[in-house]
Amino acid sequence: MDAVVVARFDPACGGYDAHFIPTATTNNKAEYDGLLRSLQLAKTRGYTHLTVYGNSQLLVRQMQGIYSVSHPGLRVQCLQARRLAATIHCTWRHRPQEGNQGADFLSRSAR
């Protein structure tokens, strides 16, 4: 599980959260957990604009409203994320897993 928040104007002011999920879960639930943690961290730091890069095309498209969320548990997480995102101006971008060193570092450190 990983989440990264970096201030564009000063990467040193960014923050990160690496969180181990001790129970079995799906990748999609873990992706939403990371998204919720990122949005909460950004809100706590007072960010008003955020570009969210995710390596899950499904999650990014769901947050953009392009794809629907059919799983009831994911629907709850998606609605929570949308409520948080509504308090911050968010731009959503898909970034393939390859070359995503920040997420790789956090997923290793959370173990």
- Please name the helix (run of DSSP H) or strand (run of DSSP E) that holds residue 15, with its range, or none: strand 10-18
Predicted model pTM: 0.73
Q: Looking at residue 91, what is its pLDDT?
A: 92
Q: What is the mean pLDDT of residues 47-70?
A: 92
Q: Quick check: 107 pLDDT over 50?
A: yes
Q: Looking at residue 25, what is its pLDDT?
A: 75
Show the domain range for 86.
2-109
- Band of the pLDDT at 34, cuts 50, 70, 90? confident
Neighbours of 7 (CB within 10 A): 14
DSSP state of 53: E
- Band of the pLDDT at 95, cuts 50, 70, 90? confident
Do 103 and 13 meet the contact criterion of CB atoms below 8 Å apart?
no
Task: Give the total number of structural domains in the chain.
Answer: 1
In whole angstroms, give the CA distance from residue 102 to residue 5. 10
List Cα–Cα distances, 78 to 30, 39, 98, in angstroms: 12, 12, 25
Which CATH number goes with the domain that contains 42? Answer: 3.30.420.10
